[in-house]
C-alpha cells in the first residue's frame, strides 16, 4: 500500500546550523508533498509544500526539494533557531495525505 518513510526520527543541531529531513514515498501517483510542523500539544501547521511539477521551493529559511524519479523529497532549514524545535511531518498524496512518522528536531543552544 501507500507509504511514506521519513528519516531521521530524531535530529539535534546546534543553533545556527542547518537541518535536513528526508522522506521517500511509494505511490507514483502522488502529486502533492506538504511539510507540517507540530509543537507539543498543538495542531499540525503547514510550513511549506511542493507539487510534482516543481523540483524546488524556498521560503526564507525553509526549502524543499523533490526528486520525482527517485520518489524522495527533503526539507532544509537553514540558520536554525530555538523556535524551530518541534516535530516535523512530511506528507505525500493527492486527495488524502499519507504522513511520515515524524522527525523530532531539537535545536541546541
Contacts with another protein by CB under 8 A lie at 31-32, 34, 36, 38, 42-46, 49, 51, 89, 93-102
C-alpha cell at 77: 532549514
R_g of the chain, CA atoms, integer Å: 13
Start-to-end C-alpha separation, the chain: 41
Least CB distance to another protein at residue 14 (A):
26
Nearer to another protein, 40 or 70 (CB): 40
Asked if residue 48 lies in contact with residue 62, where contact means CB atoms within 8 angstroms, the answer is: yes
Least CB distance to another protein at residue 92 (A):
11
Nearer to another protein, 53 or 60 (CB): 53
Nearer to another protein, 61 or 104 (CB): 104
Using DSSP bridges, classify how beta strands 19-25 and 4-7 pair: parallel, antiparallel or unpaired.
Answer: antiparallel
Amino acid at each position: 500500500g501507500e507509504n511514506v518513510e521519513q528519516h531521521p526520527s530524531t535530529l539535534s543541531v546546534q543553533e545556527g546550523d542547518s537541518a535536513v529531513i528526508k522522506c521517500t514515498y511509494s505511490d507514483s501517483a502522488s502529486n502533492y508533498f506538504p511539510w507540517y510542523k507540530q509543537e507539543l500539544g498543538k495542531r499540525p501547521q503547514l510550513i511549506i509544500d511542493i507539487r510534482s511539477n516543481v523540483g524546488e521551493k524556498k521560503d526564507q529559511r525553509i526549502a524543499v526539494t523533490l526528486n520525482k524519479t527517485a520518489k524522495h523529497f527533503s526539507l532544509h532549514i537553514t540558520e536554525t533557531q530555538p523556535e524551530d524545535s518541534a516535530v516535523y511531518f512530511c506528507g505525500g498524496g493527492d486527495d488524502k495525505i499519507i504522513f511520515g512518522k515524524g522527525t523530532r528536531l531539537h535545536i541546541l543552544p
